[in-house]
Each structure stands twice: as structure tokens, then as C-alpha cells.
Structure 1
Amino acid sequence: MTTIATRSVEYQADGLTMVGHLALPADAGRRPGVLLGPEGMGLSDVERRRADALAELGYVALAFDLHGGRYLGDPHEMLARCLPLLADPDRMRDIGHGALNLLRAEPRTDPDRIAAIGYGTGGAIALELGRDGVNLRAIGTVNATTTGRPGEAERILCPVWAGVGSEDPIMAPEQREAFTAEMQAAGVDWRLTVYGGALHAFHHPPVDHPTVPGVGYHPQHAQRAWSDVIALLAECLPAAN
């Protein structure tokens, strides 16, 4: 039985040497690609497993890095890096483009058939690639109903799906409303799924370090959100040739 292939990959972005996780389908042909961005803590085995699952479905998947090969388990250290990053669209785009360039350069990737999905900070980066006019087939985010600079959402060229917990204090109702207003005003094909009773990072299994308030795992909604991501890809970027 042929299995997927995985490897660590290094690339430059945000002045750092990033270390991503690349997962390749078992066959030998060129396949559509998916960028997968992590929560603010950074790349972990959670995202690596998701990239592997995407490769099993027939995608070339790159789980990208945020912090130069580091995982920021200390919430204070994570916020100290991520809050300035989230306030700087150009830095987010630099991180996104660094990963995107690597994915496009992979010989197994069809460079014209790429989607970007992400969680938290990684989702905000996926959205900024869209606002930068990148030719993506779909953008999917969880916990990332972030808004951009005025008028730039008009550059988004693909459908956008966003998922968020109803009890998420970080992506609160007013933030969700600002995001949907931005998408609507820009004429984007957008969808928002609100998962009842879920907190921020509801998709992420429990971690063995402190987290910021308002974070909590919801196993049922975690599976539903993953199914919604897969459905978005099946609609907008089918893995079959």
C-alpha cells in the first residue's frame, strides 16, 4: 500500500527561517495545493496531522510556520508576537507569501489551483493573501473573522468561508459583524458558520500549557468545522484531476 510522503521544509519569511510541514499525496501526478495556517501558538502536530489528512485526500498540503520553527506555549510570549503581527497586514502577507511561494515551487503542486485555510492567526494570514489579490480557489478560516484595510477585500477572487464559536470573546459578535459587512460590501462570495456554545480555538484539542481566557475545546464542533473545511475544498478545489 502506497502512503503519503511528508517532510520538513525551510523557507524565509518575516525575517525568520520558517520550518513548515509538507505532505504529498501517494500518487505521482500534479495535484491542487492547500496552505494550512496554525493558531497563534504556532505550528504543532495538530496542523501536521491535518496536512497529512489533506494529502490523503489528494492535496499537496503545506502546514506553514509562524515563529521561525518555535511553538509559543507561553500565552504572554505568544500575544507579544501575535498582536503586533495581526495589526500589520504587510507582515502577515509576507509570512503568507513565503509559504505560498514554497508550495507553488513544489513540483507536485498545480500552481494555479491553490486554496488557503487557517486557524486564528493562520486564518488571518489566509485572508490577507486574499486581500492582496492572490489567485486562490478558496479561503477558509476558523476563529479568524478579521477585517483588513479599507477597500482591499475587493481584491479577493474566491469564495470565503469562516467558522467561529458563538461564545468566542476574541472574535466577538461585533467583530463578526464587521467582517461580514466588509465581505458583503466588497462583493465577496462569503459564508459564516457560527458554532453554538463554542469558545475560541474550539477546534484545537486541549494543550498541556496555559492558554488565554475564552479558549476551550469542543469536540463535536471541532469535527463539524473540519467537515466544513473539507466541503469547501470539495466544492471549490476538488482533488480529482
Structure 2
Amino acid sequence: MTTVTTRTVEYQADGLTMIGHLALPAGADRRPAVLIGPEGLGLSDVERRRADALAESGYAALAFDLHGGRYLSDPEEMLARCLPLLADPDRMRAIGLAALDVLRAEPRTDPDRIAAIGYGTGGAIAVELGRHGVDLRAIGTVNGLTTGRPGEAGGIRCPVWAGVGSEDPIMPPAVRAAFTAEMQAAGVDWRLTVYGGALHAFHHPPVDHTVLPGVGHHPRHAERAWRDVVDLLAECLPVKE
């Protein structure tokens, strides 16, 4: 296990001052890098810990912000912000590109070896970066299966892995089918993992505030989904010691 250093980074996006969490492995050499997008609630210690875990494995990792340093524990406030965002690919791309610029500007980052992963809204942003034609080595999304504008999935130039709970009412079979049909029509190297019995945000540890109906933690599948993300990175963006 390597020694990890972390720091907060401020940057501008979506008219807000975003506050991201950057985690770096020991050393001074350039490393493959991972952009990590949070659920619609916003950046929390869950994503910060995931960035730290990836840094321990040798990646430079940036968990990016959605709401200007805020965590939206009120479901209605979260929906009021995220639903318009999810309906606006250009806004999603702008938020993702601003974070990507921060990660690329980090001297430890190998700018030619970057992957994007995310959860919910953050996962949708990761996929939207691919549709925008960003040069990524891999895209991983859990619960973030949006369908893009016609033809734009052709911009995706890397493997895409998606995970979803079988009982997720927010990402029902019709949403999954539309997403996979889009990926297939564009010739993307795609995979979809359906976790049996899991609800929306099954990967996220339990929270002490009100959540939307259909949201729930599934400990076994949460561990499996994280292993699937790590395996995706190991395949597409290996760390070379």
C-alpha cells in the first residue's frame, strides 16, 4: 500500500465554485488518472474514500463536485437541481470538462491515460464526456444510464461498463434497453452488469437523511460493483510500477 496525499481543489463550473478532492500516490512520476463523479446528492466522503483507494492502487484520482461544495440531503432540492442537469448534455459536459481540466493540470497525471467513472448523475456525466469525444481509456457508470442525443455515442472511443440494480425503479428495463441499444448502434465496446435484487444507489452506504423511494444499500452488490470498477481500470488503464 502506497502513501496517499490528498488535497481539496477549487475550480469554476456551472456558475459555481466547485470543491473537488484530489488523491495522489507516493512519488513524483506521472500516473494514470481517474475522474470520479458522485451521486446526485453531491460529493461526499464516499467518493473521497474511493479516490483515496484508487490512489493507494497507484492512480491519480479526482472526485469532482456537482453543487459548489454542497451536499443536497433534501431529495426535493436534489431533484430540482439534478433533473434539469440530466436533461442538458451541454451542462453535464461542461461540469465534467472543468473537472477533467483540473485533473489534467495536475503534474502527477499522465494526460494521455485517463478514465472516468461515476455514480448516478456523476456516472451520466462520465458517459457524456465520452459522447463529447474526450480521449478516455475507460468509462464506468453505476446507476447513470442516460441516453444521449442521436448519433453522439459515436464519439465514445473506449470501453464502457455500466452497472444497475435489477429492482431500480429509476433505471427500469426500458432505460437500460435504450442505453444498451444506443451503445450497440454506435459500435461501442460495452458491458452491462445487472445486480439481482438491488435498488437504486445500492452501492452507497446507508445515510442518515430521507432518500427517494427505490433507493437502498445492498452490501454484497456494493462490494461487487466496486470490484467491477477496479477490474475495468485494471484492464483498460493498468498501473505500471
Tell me, in whole angstroms, the C-alpha distance in 2 between the residues paired with 1:144 and 1:121. 6
In structure 1, the residue matched to 2:118 is 118
Q: Any residues of structure 2 matched to 1:73-84 within 5 Å, and which?
A: 73-84=73-84
Q: Secondary structure at the match of 2:80?
A: helix
In structure 2, the residue matched to 1:34 is 34
In structure 1, the residue matched to 2:9 is 9
- Deviation sequence 1:56-85 (CA, Å, 0-9, x none): 000000000000000000000000000000
Unaligned runs of 5+ in 2: none
Tell me, in whole angstroms, the C-alpha distance in 2 between the residues paired with 1:46 and 1:2. 20
Q: Secondary structure at the match of 1:215?
A: coil
Tell me, in whole angstroms, the C-alpha distance in 1 between the residues paired with 2:142 and 2:198. 12
Q: Structure 1 vs Structure 2: percent identity of aligned residues? A: 83
In structure 2, the residue matched to 1:228 is 228
Q: What is the deviation of 1:2?
A: 5.9
Q: What is the deviation of 1:220?
A: 0.0
Unaligned runs of 5+ in 1: none
In structure 1, the residue matched to 2:208 is 208
AA paired with 2:97? H
In structure 1, the residue matched to 2:170 is 170
Tell me, in whole angstroms, the C-alpha distance in 2 between the residues paired with 1:190 and 1:118. 16
Matched, 1:195 2:189: no
Q: Is the 8 A contact 2:2 2:58 kept in 1?
A: no
AA paired with 1:195? Y
AA paired with 1:182? E
AA paired with 1:152? E
Tell me, in whole angstroms, the C-alpha distance in 2 between the residues paired with 1:67 and 1:74. 13
Tell me, in whole angstroms, the C-alpha distance in 2 between the residues paired with 1:108 and 1:7. 13
Q: Is the 8 A contact 2:2 2:25 kept in 1?
A: no
Q: What do you get for the CA RMSD once the two structures are aligned?
A: 0.8
Q: What is the deviation of 1:166?
A: 0.2
Q: Secondary structure at the match of 2:210?
A: coil
Q: Any residues of structure 2 matched to 1:123-138 within 5 Å, and which?
A: 123-138=123-138
Tell me, in whole angstroms, the C-alpha distance in 2 between the residues paired with 1:2 and 1:110. 18
Tell me, in whole angstroms, the C-alpha distance in 2 between the residues paired with 1:187 and 1:119. 23
TM-score (norm 2): 0.99
Q: Secondary structure at the match of 1:107?
A: coil
AA paired with 2:113? R
Q: What is the deviation of 1:219?
A: 0.2
TM-score (norm 1): 0.99
Q: What is the deviation of 1:27?
A: 2.1
Tell me, in whole angstroms, the C-alpha distance in 1 between the residues paired with 2:15 and 2:50. 26
Q: Is the 8 A contact 2:2 2:57 kept in 1?
A: no
Tell me, in whole angstroms, the C-alpha distance in 2 between the residues paired with 1:59 and 1:209. 32
